[in-house]
Amino acid sequence: MPWEEAKNILRPDFVNDVHMGVMEVDKTKCTKCGLCIQNCPFLCWKEDEDDFPILKEEYTCFSCFNCTIPCPVDAVKIVETYHAHDGFWKTYPYPLPVKMPLEPKDAEGNPTEWNAIEKVILERRSVRNFKDKPVPDSLIQRVLEAGRFAPSAGNCQPWKFFVITNKAIIKEIEQITTRNTTYTYNMYINNEEVKKLEPWIRGGVGVFDPRLALGGMGMIAKPEMGRTPSFNAPVVILLAADERAISGPQINIGICGQNMNLVANSLGIKALWNGFMGSVVNNMESLKERLSIKPPWTIITALCLGYPKFKQEGMVPREYRPVTWFREGKDEIEIQK
């Protein structure tokens, strides 16, 4: 791919086209507990001279709204969501509207309550603040069973789990993850070195979405963030798939992993999808050999599990795109906005 084409992907206009989310704190409500700062994945916040949370001068916010969840007084509000105005990463429609879950209704269209499964799904959040407390094997086993009983294409059941509670092994994976991610991040932010990333695009462009390239990789690469790739989770589960899986390994592991994620949350332990650690293991032959990962098995992703330090689950608004309906007995298209 010529650099001029790759440039649209690897070097968007961060000033005019890519706009990070904007949040602010109502100082008349804020108790200065600091939980919004702790629960921000990319540490976008700092304290001002009066100890109130404010956004840093430079930050990467991808509008997860995790800062709103732990606030005990509802003092954090959304001013503007992440969006890309133009260029390769342009969001559509612009700007992306966000909505809370639509009101639940019964079969007759009357207002009703969310059931238990709906609540687990709607309140699930990625947790990045874990207690230094081991998770019992009995609960880990229940999470694994939720994955084992997931649906799969052609009932091929192409999954295998590698459970790591050994802190030394987790630390080793973290060190390699940090080293590799820092190398890639430093290339990305350098106007000359970034050109060397052009061949990587052929394997997929998602890793260079500004939210991941600046936020996710930056979180790991910048020492001042003080983040570890596992966020100090006591359990890391590597999700492996048979490369020969019907419909491909990714979709099957996605279904399997979400089962595990939801059950973990329902058990009082919390979960975090962790693609960084999964991809590092998959690309390091020495690590795969040590962990006994052999073909046709390939690591697709990882889940970090642990007990949350504080409340990190709850409903937040999510991006909403119009739904297209084709009603029985009608020829025209109906757009639900």
What pLDDT does residue 93 have? 72
H helix runs in the chain, sequence order: 3-10, 35-38, 116-123, 137-148, 167-189, 210, 217-221, 249-266, 275-282, 285-290
What pLDDT does residue 49 have? 96
Please tell me whether the overall predicted TM-score, pTM, comes out greater than 0.75 for this model. Answer: yes
The Cα-based distances of 43 to 40, 203, 218 in angstroms read 5, 30, 11
Taking alpha carbons only, the member of 61, 63, 52 closest to residue 26 is 52
Question: Strand, helix or coil at 325?
Answer: strand
Say which CATH topology domain 123-306 has: NADH Oxidase (3.40.109)
pLDDT along the chain (337 residues), means of 10: 90 94 96 97 96 96 96 95 93 83 97 95 96 98 98 98 97 96 96 94 91 95 93 98 96 97 95 94 92 96 97 94 94 93
Q: In the chain, what are the domain boundaries?
A: 1-99, 123-306
Write the CATH number of the domain with boundaries 1-99.
Answer: 3.30.70.20
Question: Strand, helix or coil at 201?
Answer: helix
pLDDT tens digits, one per residue of 37-77: 999 999 999 999 999 999 999 999 999 999 999 999 999 99
Taking alpha carbons only, the member of 220, 231, 234, 218 closest to residue 133 is 234
What pLDDT does residue 92 have? 79
Contact by Cβ (8 Å): 259, 273: no
The Cα-based distances of 133 to 61, 189, 213, 235 in angstroms read 30, 37, 31, 10
Calpha distance 276→254 (Å, rounded): 15
What pLDDT does residue 95 have? 74
What pLDDT does residue 291 have? 94
What pLDDT does residue 221 have? 95
What pLDDT does residue 97 have? 87
Calpha distance 61→79 (Å, rounded): 12
Calpha distance 217→3 (Å, rounded): 22
Calpha distance 268→130 (Å, rounded): 12
